[in-house]
Structure 1
């Protein structure tokens, strides 16, 4: 069942339930009001006849005549009066005697002073009434034809109104459910038009500040991330194809050259060295791409634990210098003495990759191949600064250096893949940290990494 039909159904059922309860309450109130009002009329009629009989010269025969002649026209009340010894004093029509008074009834009247009950649609009232100090048992009964007729009119009106109301509610519910879900329907149509080839399209958010606008905004934000991800993948594939093609082509060329004719041992050795160099370059590139993929993991999928930043820095510096003996890395730990100051929740492997990239970059783009690393605390962060005295980064390129595969004007100074700084930024973001860069003209570059303390 569609959402529109479910809304219509629930709206109809809920409204009908409210209407039935409301109309039932109206009918029940009218029924009780009629019942109570007629009992009051019975009581007044009975007391009036008692007073006429005992206070005036009007005899019982005259009262009985009035009752018989008006019984069918005015729905006359049938009244019976008994003395304290339960002896009949007056009865409108003994031969009719609709209410059969019994000793049990008189006993109940004695105990409760007043009783009320229904008998075949007739309302019957019995009570004790004192007249000039003498108690009398009085019973009165009558059929409220007029009141029942009014109740039937009310009942018929309620049933007809409910029938038309249900029809109107169904039509109204369908109209409003369609109107309410119209933006959702439009979103569905717009979403069906979006594919991998036109991820730039967006859903209309509308002007109303409601949940539907929030849904459209959330979906558009998702599309924004997907579009960036697709663009990044396209760039990634294009770059990988380009970077791998170059060493592969060189390796194939070297091998074809070696196979064209017999070569000297020295020539074969040189060919092997060239192929090895290209292979190492490919391996390094693939390792970097693998690390880049890991840095794109969801935070919830990465294993974090409490580690010391200074230990990761020490391990990273040793690894960088092991792979590049000409690099010099100076670690300055003078600004901290308590190990608690540099404890962070992190993934040691990824953090080591980020630190190694920053150290390698600093050494690579400095003529003295030297990087100075310092560690301290700043508020609730552990601050690690990587400084070099290299060629620096132009001001126009500072906001682009973390873009995937971007290589600036210094690309001619040293080889690189354009992934390193992007990888560092992703790792720092994964650790909920911050990274800032300063590169004054001709004064080298300083990268500042801030990581939340444990």
Structure 2
């Protein structure tokens, strides 16, 4: 069931319940008022006839004739009068005698002063009447034809109004719910048109500040993120393909040339050496991609624990120097620390080692002396690491794009690389709630500053 149908039915049900309660209250109020008014009418009729009988001394025969004549055209009140000994003094029509009075009724009236009850659909009232210091009992009974007719008409009209009201409310609710959900329908139709090939489409956002406008705005923001992610993925795949194609093509070319004709052993060694060099490039690229994949995991899936920064730096230096024995790396402290937590962070040891190794390797790789240094300092609620070298430096135009994936600046001819290292490093530092900054001057050197929060 659609929401607009459910809302229409719910609204109609609530309204029907309110109307039904309202109709019930009105009907019960009218029913109670009719009953009270007719009992009052019976009392007045009874007293009037008793006055005619006792005070005006109107003969019983005359009163009976009046009753019988009136009864033919309207529901005349039937009156009977008894004394305190249950002696009948007057009765409008003994042949009819609706009430069937009993001595117990008379005793109850003398005790209570007045009683009122129903005899089938006839209303009956009995009351005590005093004349010349003598107590009498008067009974009056009648059928309220006019009152019942009005009450039935009220009930019928109420039912008709209730039914027509519910129908009208349902139709109106259906109409207004459809109007209210038109933006949702429009959003649904527009969203169905959006696919991976046209992520530039957006939902129409009106200038209103209602919930639907907020939903459309949130959905568009999600589409912006998806579009950026798709574009980054396409760019990433394109760069990866290029990076893989170059060494693979070189390997294939070297091997094919080696097979074209017989060559000297030195030529074969050279071909194998070149193929090996290209293979190592592929290994470095694949390792970088694996590290990038690990750094892109959800933080909930990455194991974090308290690790010491100095120990990770020493491990990173050993890793770099193991692959490049000619590299010289110095680790210095700018100040002392009093306890282990001051130099410890809550992080992933492997990823931090990868990030630090990238920075140390870059410093040596772009330095003519093949050396770099890292200084450890302590600031307010942060550990400061400065990775410095006295290398060729980075052009100012390249600084803004330095942390972009696969970006290589003007110094790419100085040393080999794939443009993933610094992008991966920034991602890892960001994953650890840290920051990385760079300052560089051409032919002077470069300094990468890493700020990490210590263990609290």
C-alpha distance in structure 1 between counterparts of 2:202 and 2:437, whole Å: 34
Deviations 1:149-203 (CA, angstroms, capped at 9, x unpaired):
2222222222222332233223212211221111111112211222212111111
- 1:83-98 matched pairs, under 5 angstroms: 83-98=83-98
- 1:233-272 matched pairs, under 5 angstroms: 233-272=233-272
Deviations 1:211-242 (CA, angstroms, capped at 9, x unpaired):
21122122112211211111111111111111
C-alpha distance in structure 2 between counterparts of 1:404 and 1:201, whole Å: 27
Give 1:319 shift: 2.5
**Structure-1 residue corresponding to 2:374:** 372
**Structure-1 residue corresponding to 2:20:** 20
Q: Structure 1 regions of 5+ residues with no counterpart?
A: none
Contact 1:336–1:375 (8 Å) recurs in 2: no
**Structure-2 residue corresponding to 1:280:** 280
With 12-21 and 191-200 compared, the bigger mean Cα shift is at 12-21
Q: Could you say if the C-alpha distance between residues 243 and 124 of structure 1 is closer, same or farther in structure 2, counting changes exceeding 3 Å?
A: same
DSSP 3-state at the match of 2:35: helix
DSSP 3-state at the match of 2:94: coil
**Structure-2 residue corresponding to 1:410:** 411
**Structure-1 residue corresponding to 2:80:** 80
1:385 aligns with 2:408: no
Q: Structure 2 regions of 5+ residues with no counterpart?
A: none
Give 1:143 shift: 1.8
C-alpha distance in structure 2 between counterparts of 1:324 and 1:133, whole Å: 136
Deviations 1:38-84 (CA, angstroms, capped at 9, x unpaired):
22333333344445544554455544444333335453333334444
Q: Could you say if the C-alpha distance between residues 277 and 87 of structure 1 is closer, same or farther in structure 2, counting changes exceeding 3 Å?
A: farther
With 108-117 and 391-400 compared, the bigger mean Cα shift is at 108-117
Give 1:249 shift: 1.3
Give 1:129 shift: 6.0
DSSP 3-state at the match of 1:98: coil
Deviations 1:286-332 (CA, angstroms, capped at 9, x unpaired):
11112222222233333344444444444333333333330404142
**Structure-2 residue corresponding to 1:125:** 125
| Alignment length (residue pairs) | 451
**Structure-2 residue corresponding to 1:160:** 160
Q: Could you say if the C-alpha distance between residues 207 and 130 of structure 1 is closer, same or farther in structure 2, counting changes exceeding 3 Å?
A: farther
C-alpha distance in structure 2 between counterparts of 1:271 and 1:132, whole Å: 148
C-alpha distance in structure 1 between counterparts of 2:276 and 2:79, whole Å: 126
**Structure-1 residue corresponding to 2:428:** 427
DSSP 3-state at the match of 1:370: strand
TM-score by length of 2: 0.86
Alignment RMSD (CA, Å):
3.1
Give 1:109 shift: 5.2
DSSP 3-state at the match of 2:378: strand
DSSP 3-state at the match of 1:200: coil
1:348 aligns with 2:349: yes
- 1:298-313 matched pairs, under 5 angstroms: 298-313=298-313
Q: Could you say if the C-alpha distance between residues 437 and 149 of structure 1 is closer, same or farther in structure 2, counting changes exceeding 3 Å?
A: same
Give 1:375 shift: 4.8
Give 1:204 shift: 0.9
Deviations 1:325-360 (CA, angstroms, capped at 9, x unpaired):
304041427353223345544333333333333333
C-alpha distance in structure 1 between counterparts of 2:28 and 2:254, whole Å: 103
**Structure-2 residue corresponding to 1:439:** 439
Deviations 1:379-398 (CA, angstroms, capped at 9, x unpaired):
4xx43423314444445444
TM-score by length of 1: 0.86
